[in-house]
């Protein structure tokens, strides 16, 4: 059974993660090149459009991997 101190630390950690994620969501629209990288696929037909941000997904994945590697140490 976890102690109240460990539960409190977990809640503080989760709160910090939510603050960082909220800040990222606020700042994302202000980055003009994000979502328009070479390698992001976009197809627009007459009645259908398809968008697959492959390059953007890879970039975010690499950045998150580096960030988590820094926090793990």
Task: Give the H or E element holding residue 52.
Answer: strand 49-53
Q: Strand 40-44 vs strand 49-53: parallel, antiparallel, or unpaired?
A: antiparallel
> Rounded distance, CA 37 to CA 59, Å?
10
Residues β-bridged to residue 53? 40
| pTM exceeds 0.75 for this model | no
Q: What is the pLDDT of residues 28-72, one digit of tens each?
A: 888 888 788 899 999 999 999 999 999 999 998 998 899 888 888
């Amino acid at each position: 059974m976890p102690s109240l101190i460990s539960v409190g630390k977990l809640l503080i950690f989760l709160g910090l993660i939510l603050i960082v994620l909220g800040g990222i969501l606020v700042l994302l629209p202000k980055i003009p090149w994000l979502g328009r990288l070479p390698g992001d696929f976009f197809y627009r037909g007459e009645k259908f459009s398809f968008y697959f941000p492959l390059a953007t997904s890879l970039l975010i994945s690499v950045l998150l991997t580096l960030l988590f590697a820094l926090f793990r140490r």
